[in-house]
Structure 1
Amino acid sequence: MNDIVNRLAKRLNHEKSQSNNQKPVELWAKEKEHFRPLNYDLTRYFDSVQTRKVSQDSMIRFQNHQYSVSPNYIGKEVEIKPDTDGKSIRIFYQGSEIKKHDLTNKQFNYDPRDKHAILKSDLMEDKTDEEIDQYMLNNLSIYDQIGE
């Protein structure tokens, strides 16, 4: 969608307007000198880097969907940086990348390693890795269907 809008804007900005017979790009060159810089309080809303606190479920929320991180980060502030292609996000803790997720329409987005670690850290701490894997296979697939 962004690509379509950008191509359309580029084309329209170089076409003469029917109302004033001028190109918007030429008018912008004249008008922009009259604008003042935006206040920092406004610009921070448009920053591509966002911070979130990792929930007790070891998840962060981005665009009304949840994405997993390792339980080691529960309660900590992480940064979310959308990739320039708009198809994925990267999650950072103290400047180091800790996770990358593809953006989806699913409500809950678990990396299988995170899902395993989440179960092992609390609910199934006394179970073997094989028992946890079997549980995940049998019982957690229902979460993948939520929001579809």
Structure 2
Amino acid sequence: MDNYLKRIEELLSIKGITMRAVYEKLKDEGLNIGTYSNFRKYVKRKGLIEKKKAKGHPRFETLPGVQAQVDWKENIKLYSRSGEEFEINVFNYKLGYSRYCYFELRETKTQQDVFECLINAFKKTGGVPQEILFDNMRTVVDITEKGRRINYKMKAFAKDFGFKIKLCKPRHSYTKGKVESANKFISWILAYDKDFEDEKELNEIIQRINKKVNTRINQSTNVPPLLLFQKEKEYLSPLPNKNIVESYLDHTHKAKVQKDSLIYYKGNKYSVPPEYIGKTMKIKTNENYLYVYYNTELITVYKITDKKINYISDHYTTLMSKHIKDSKELNEMCSNNLKKLDNFL
């Protein structure tokens, strides 16, 4: 493994990364690094990580279909190969008995995000558990003078979908230890910093990590979560009728404007005026048209095509005018670049 020492050191230098995350990334790169056990011994022998003191805590087990735990892996900052900054959140839903996980990437973590992620998790796992354990996330709990109180929208959602809400005890984080251990797996994505193209590829990486977590042997149960899930899914309750499910879904897509003044939607990119760089836009579709809003204001409309990059000339010219002041040079350069983009794509 000495041949890969420099690469191992480079990955281990990433803040918040785990040894397992480095191992999985090196395997993804096709490097012949052997088993994780040998890799771990090598890293320790080389003194590449500091030893951490293990903290003991009680272990909580639940019967099949009884409990799921929910948490966010928040504010993960990553850069694409082209240097674009992405700040993402990953929703983490974990069934207590089998340890089967569902991960979903989101730009925001609003109450609407929680509702939609939960619905997607229920659909993915084929049903609803008896109870779901949350921490004190603001989308679930209101903090009042009298203490914690589950907010009324979350109560209504739980009632409609047929589960009870349980809250972690304050200062007792180990009560949601199963979902927090899954958050360590989500940290594997840190190893892909500067090694992805766009949001689509980030989503694919998250799904690959999710699949690995569900198919590798779990340290607590000594079997893969997918195996125990075959039993647990039989104890989950069915989702409510379609009308109830649809009433909690917002079919508006959200997209953050990147530094190139583009937003991403279903594999293609579309421009907006550069003044919206860094802001989150709402995207609605109707028939074959795409409507881009900022808050309630309609910003631009596109006819949906197969083109990968769609720049409106004015948007591109305004963007480039920050770098080129001569108007003649600016117009010529923008015209030539847009033609090249059209021919290339």
TM-score, structure 1 normalization: 0.63
Cα separation, 2, equivalents of 1:139 and 1:114: 13
Corresponding letter in the other structure for 2:337? N
SS in 2 for 1:66: strand
Report the aligned-residue RMSD.
Answer: 2.5
What is aligned with 2:15?
none
What is aligned with 1:72?
275
What is aligned with 1:25?
none
The residue correspondences of 1:134-145 to structure 2 (distance < 5 A) are 134-145=332-343
Change (3 A) 1:116 1:145: same
Cα separation, 2, equivalents of 1:117 and 1:142: 18
What percentage of aligned pairs have identical amino acids? 25
Structure 2 residue 294 is the aligned partner of structure 1 residue 93: yes
1:78-132 Cα deviation digits (max 9, x unpaired): 100012x1x11010001100111111111110111101111113x32x222x322
Corresponding letter in the other structure for 2:270? Y
SS in 1 for 2:251: coil
- Residues 52 and 77 in structure 1, CA contact (< 8 A), matched pair in contact too: yes
Corresponding letter in the other structure for 2:291? R
Corresponding letter in the other structure for 2:240? R
Cα separation, 2, equivalents of 1:37 and 1:106: 38
What is aligned with 2:303?
102
What is aligned with 1:82?
285
1:35-91 Cα deviation digits (max 9, x unpaired): 7246769x53xx4311111001100011100000000000001100012x1x11010
The residue correspondences of 1:9-48 to structure 2 (distance < 5 A) are 36-37=240-241, 44=249, 47-48=250-251
The size of the alignment, in residue pairs, is 107
- Residues 49 and 79 in structure 1, CA contact (< 8 A), matched pair in contact too: yes
Cα separation, 2, equivalents of 1:66 and 1:106: 8
User: Cα distance, 1:142 vs. partner?
Assistant: 1.2
Cα separation, 2, equivalents of 1:81 and 1:59: 16
- Residues 107 and 146 in structure 1, CA contact (< 8 A), matched pair in contact too: no
Structure 2 residue 312 is the aligned partner of structure 1 residue 111: yes
Cα separation, 2, equivalents of 1:143 and 1:118: 16
Change (3 A) 1:57 1:40: farther
Cα separation, 2, equivalents of 1:76 and 1:35: 35
Structure 1, gaps ≥5 residues long:
1-33
Cα separation, 2, equivalents of 1:35 and 1:78: 31
Cα separation, 2, equivalents of 1:139 and 1:112: 10
TM-score, structure 2 normalization: 0.29
Corresponding letter in the other structure for 2:264? R
What is aligned with 1:132?
330
Cα separation, 1, equivalents of 2:296 and 2:306: 27
- Residues 60 and 67 in structure 1, CA contact (< 8 A), matched pair in contact too: yes
Change (3 A) 1:63 1:146: farther
Structure 2, gaps ≥5 residues long:
1-237
